[in-house]
Amino acid sequence: MNRKYTVAIAGATGAVGAEMLKVLEERNFPVASLKLLASARSAGKKIKFCGEDVTVEELRHDSFNGVDIALFSAGGSLSKEFRDSVVSSGTLMIDNSSAFRMDDDVPLIIPEVNAHDMKKHKGVIANPNCSTIIMLIAVAPLHRKFEIRRIVASTYQAASGAGAKGMEELISQSRAVLDGETAVPSVFVHPIAFNLIPQIDTFLDNGYTREEMKMVYESRKILGCQELMVSCTCVRVPVVRAHSIALNLEFETGASPDMVREVLAESQGVEIVDDPSAHKYPMPLDASDKVNIFAGRIRQDISLPDSKGIDMFISGDQVIKGAALNTVQIAELALSSEQ
């Protein structure tokens, strides 16, 4: 990339916005100028980027004049409100919310999985749900090789999935409980310290939550497989950062654990951590602040005949790969297609 670009980050003061800044700097993204956008109460705050102070501006409808790419992590309602203003300015909008993910004219992109869908965009590209990204980084190469017919996923989602306030609530509640005080929930519907909450987002009529159905619908769209059977149970756990997922995969053809490891070892974005005898397997503590998804506990599903099932466990930092890094990678792909 020889040219440099004007980049805006909407939601720059949030946890994902801060990580986007870090990723842009670490990957030497060709930034000519940077606009940091947030609410009026954050306007005037200064944030460092490449050693320079950048002043946060209020997010307004005229904020995108002269902007090449806008990375949005400001919430679905604001994404919907500002979409027309962004696109009419000739700015490419890469959105981290769920606002447009299932729109037919909006590509839903994981660069390692379906970069070919990028060309369908009409000014907006969507970043998938963080758990969907973490899951499909490991699942997509196996689907290409063995054709997955059914996925059963149980997620162990960190407090950081609810942003900076979620992490703060877990830490403050943990201190309170250890001091013999009562943990009072604010961000979550129940205390998160020393607890598990089998609800993420609201419940739907079918008994699943919106988070669970996001993983169903998004997986089908990204893999281009509407008949794929997916069932999820999403659980919030008292972990500060990095999501984990227990996966049961049913294939059309037989696949041994060694065959699965061989495929994953050659897959971009995956790191195999799978030596149970040495107590080595994916854990959120190890996956935190890492760009790769860790995969392990790979074993044959003994309940299915003909070696057509595999169980495995994965962990990944959803703030990085599940949000900020994936968004920046989409931007990099968009720019490379212009060269």
pLDDT of residue 164: 86
pTM of the entire predicted model:
0.95
pLDDT of residue 339: 57
- What CATH architecture applies to the domain 132-318? 2-Layer Sandwich (3.30)
pLDDT band at 338 (very low <50, low <70, confident <90, very high): low
Segments making up each domain of the chain, as ranges: 5-128+323-336, 132-318
What's the pLDDT tens digit per position in 233-261?
Answer: 999 999 999 999 999 999 999 999 999 99
Across all residues in the chain, what is the average pLDDT? 96
What's the pLDDT tens digit per position in 202-228?
Answer: 999 999 999 999 999 999 999 999 999
- pLDDT for residue 1 is more than 60: no
What's the pLDDT tens digit per position in 44-94?
Answer: 999 999 999 999 999 999 999 999 999 999 999 999 999 999 999 999 999
Q: Distance of alpha carbon 148 from its chain centroid, rounded?
A: 22
Catalytic (active site) residue 243: yes
The catalytically annotated residue of 121, 143, 234, 243 is: 243
- Is 5-128+323-336's fold the same as 132-318's? no
CA separation for the pair 269, 39 (Å, rounded): 34
CA separation for the pair 230, 193 (Å, rounded): 30
pLDDT of residue 336: 83
The catalytically annotated residue of 61, 116, 130, 225 is: 130
What's the pLDDT tens digit per position in 152-173?
Answer: 999 999 999 998 899 999 999 9
Catalytic (active site) residue 190: no
Phi, psi of 61 (to 5 degrees): -70, -20
pLDDT of residue 163: 87
**CATH no., domain 5-128+323-336:** 3.40.50.720
Per the CB < 8 A criterion, the answer to whether 133 and 155 are in contact is no
